[in-house]
């Protein structure tokens, strides 16, 4: 097989057309325990990372917002009251299990009306050109097979002046932190996954997929290459996580 025919799934090389199915299997396995594991893995800090992303978004009343790879709806739940009845929030995920968990959770919390659910692939977003004021993707871009294609798809459906926020695991700046993070990722995470979610392999993939994701400067350049302007990023927790922002001119 040529390099064009393969991509990475964690540290494994797989056929390009197989990756989406493999990622789907990971999230089918962990969907019901996803929120619990996020709180345990990050000691709750993921909520602070997401809150900062929302603050950077500039979302206001009447806006249309798309949350891609929205999972169990953390960001969508915050955006819905911000845009109000005249606005719209779309929670999108390629994985039906995750989307179902997110929809049920938000409905149970009384969040309805301006919130819609769409099963969609980030590479082929089924929305009109120039439609959204803001797009967010939190901890989802690293699982996308063709990130460049996904970024161009997001640019297409943003309105001029619209903003993309990419919240994702990244590369720690401090070598000591990096070593400690590696030790935690490859020993504690799989053990925790087995104990809480009954699945160590999915959390082994999580650790590997983070290491295969582009670093901060590479992702910023990818966003610029896709056509985004004024691209910048903010490191959090020493660079363990970064939020990238770009604007459509």
Binding-site residues from annotation for S-adenosyl-L-methionine = 72, 93, 121-122
Q: Which of 36, 42, 71 is nearest to 196 (CA)?
A: 36
Annotated binding-site residues read 72, 93, 121-122
Which CB contacts under 8 angstroms, 24+ apart, belong to 219-227? 219/141, 219/166, 219/168, 219/170, 219/244, 220/244, 222/147, 222/148, 222/151, 223/151, 223/164, 223/166, 225/148, 226/148, 226/151, 226/152, 226/154, 226/155, 227/152, 227/155
């Amino acid at each position: 097989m040529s390099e064009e025919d393969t991509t990475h799934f964690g540290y494994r090389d797989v056929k390009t057309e197989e990756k989406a199915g493999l990622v789907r299997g990971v999230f089918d396995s962990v969907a019901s325990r996803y929120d619990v594991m996020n709180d345990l893995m990050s000691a709750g800090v993921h909520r602070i990372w997401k809150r900062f992303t929302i603050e950077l978004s500039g979302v206001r009343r009447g806006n249309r917002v798309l949350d891609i790879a929205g999972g169990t709806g953390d960001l969508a739940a915050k955006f819905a009251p911000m845009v109000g009845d005249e606005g719209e929030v779309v929670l999108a995920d390629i994985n039906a299990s995750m989307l179902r968990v997110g929809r049920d959770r938000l409905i149970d919390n009384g969040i309805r009306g301006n919130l819609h659910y769409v099963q969609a692939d980030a590479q082929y977003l089924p929305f009109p050109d120039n439609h959204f004021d803001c797009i967010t993707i939190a901890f989802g871009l690293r699982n996308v097979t063709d990130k460049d294609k996904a970024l161009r798809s997001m640019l297409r459906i943003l309105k001029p002046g619209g903003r993309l926020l990419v919240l994702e695991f990244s590369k720690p700046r401090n070598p000591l932190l990096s070593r400690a993070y590696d030790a935690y990722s490859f020993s504690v995470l799989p053990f925790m996954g087995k104990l809480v979610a009954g699945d160590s392999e999915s959390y082994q993939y999580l650790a590997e997929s983070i290491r295969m994701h582009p670093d901060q400067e590479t992702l910023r350049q990818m966003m610029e290459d896709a056509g985004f302007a004024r691209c910048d990023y903010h490191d959090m927790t020493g660079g363990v996580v970064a939020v990238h922002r770009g604007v459509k001119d």
